[in-house]
Structure 1
Amino acid sequence: MTALTYTHSPSLTPLTTQSPQTLSATSNPPIDYLMTSVMVLRQPQPPSPSAFQNNSQKPQVLLLRRHPQDSYPLKWEPPGGSIDPSDPTVLSAATRELHEETNLSNPHFHTWVAMARELPTEDAARMKNWGVQPEEELARDVEVKIDEAGGVVMVTTFLETKNVWGKMNFVATVDEGAEVEIDPEEHVEWGWFTEEEVRRGRAVLPLENGNGSVNGEKEEKEKERVLEFTSRAVWGSVLEAFRVGRELGVIA
């Protein structure tokens, strides 16, 4: 297998040398299981400079729909997963997970992203229908030191069965025109979604996005989907990625 590569902004340089084990031990409380999540953003270009910006030209994020036989069945999430002992760094793990789940390669990591704290009341109310575990509703961001100069990253942590889980979320971009290919054993659908679609939890999927097989039956394509996320923390991090992406000029 060809070695996977990535690029990164200068602010993430300390994460190219620090091991995931050191990062986990530096956290307070220490993290028992560390994961990564990649918020891949893109800014579709209009067909002409004067063209009216519709949904297809607004900034979008890549999301995947989990397999019905997996934990959190049919919930939506960004690409990501657990860090393996063989992963030398968190960024290497994020690159590997992105490739395994979407076939996308050579990401550019712009920054880390925390969990959005402020959500409209109607959004918080809608989340209660997702079947979110109580432990995940108590997710919180903790600062973790990454260098002697005082640099820190935020890691979203939550407690599950007396173990502390942590997730490092990154904002990334990939080459324009790169094609997504999901593993049908892990996810059944994928899509590029606007901030408005993520916030209201509804979107229409194109025909080609996954096999659409849910509980052994084919779902209709070109039909509005309800976007239920694996947790409030994941949903909040996706929304925060849009804000941070605009702030950095990654998206407009």
Structure 2
Amino acid sequence: MVPQPSTLLSFTHSPSLAPFAISVEEYLTQHPEYDGLAGGAMVFDSEDRLLIVQRAAHDSMPNLWEVPGGACDSTDESILHGVARELFEETGLRVRELRHLVGPGDGHVVFKTGRKGLIICKFTFEVDVESTGVVALDPNEHQNYLWVTEEDCKEYQVEREGNVVRFQFTTAAQQATVLEGFRLRKKANPIGR
């Protein structure tokens, strides 16, 4: 892993996210039922479209779509720092603020990895970034990106420049988290919707 400039991890977070402002080790000590943690970042643009990324054809779950994110590492200062790092590594976007937890039920999704059978707990957060202007994908992880609406996510397709792009989420839990993110966003900003 390449060290990132300290400005990468210069962000604020909502007080409601204090339980995630701890190290991965500390969280796993409190929750021994998990072998690891992962984080996802829901990034919306000024038109309330969500950024989704397509997994690389050579990676696990090839060609499927998800929000940016990945494993929180023991070297991350906190779970929140892990989410900010993953978003930067995968898209080049810098987190300005982590706003709130997003997810079905109590906000976490538990899954078993295919390769090693580890039990991973994933948290997804709505984040505000410095700019949504330029998305720079890491080709080792993702091959394409889209800005999508809630309707696009329900129809599994988006029309861009006269072309229809069809997409499928990595898991049903990923799609449920995405739809919950749109619901929470509308609830927080009901005017004009």
SS in 2 for 1:179: coil
Give the TM-score, by structure 1 length.
0.67
- Greater C-alpha radius of gyration: 1
1:155–1:169 Cα contact (<8 Å) kept: yes
Kindly report the root-mean-square deviation, in angstroms, between the aligned alpha carbons of the 2 structures: 2.1
* CA displacement, residues 109-148 of structure 1 (integer Å, 9 cap, x when unaligned): 1101122xxxxxxxxxxxxxxxxxxxxxxxxx5x5xxxxx
1:65–1:77 Cα contact (<8 Å) kept: yes
Structure 2 Cα separation of the partners of residues 162 and 81 of structure 1: 16
Please point out which of 40, 43, 68 is paired with 1:40.
Answer: 43
Residue identity in the other structure for 2:35: D
Q: Which residue of 1 aligns with 2:146?
A: 191
Identity, % of aligned pairs? 31
Structure 2 Cα separation of the partners of residues 204 and 26 of structure 1: 45
**What is the aligned length?**
185
Q: 1:207-222 alignment to 2 at 5 Å?
A: 222=162
Q: Which runs of 5+ in 2 are unaligned?
A: none
Residue identity in the other structure for 1:226: R
Structure 2 Cα separation of the partners of residues 107 and 80 of structure 1: 16
Structure 2 Cα separation of the partners of residues 97 and 37 of structure 1: 8
Give the TM-score, by structure 2 length.
0.86
SS in 1 for 2:50: strand
Residue identity in the other structure for 2:18: T
Structure 1 Cα separation of the partners of residues 189 and 96 of structure 2: 17
SS in 1 for 2:33: coil
SS in 2 for 1:69: coil
* CA displacement, residues 79-125 of structure 1 (integer Å, 9 cap, x when unaligned): 0001111012111000000000110013311101122xxxxxxxxxx
After TM superposition, the structure 1 stretch with the greater mean CA deviation from structure 2, 242-251 or 164-173, is: 242-251
Q: Which residue of 2 aligns with 1:236?
A: 176
Q: Does 1:30 align with 2:33?
A: yes
Deviation, structure 1 residue 7: 1.6
Please point out which of 71, 76, 85 is paired with 1:87.
Answer: 76
SS in 2 for 1:239: helix
Deviation, structure 1 residue 180: 1.0
Deviation, structure 1 residue 185: 2.1
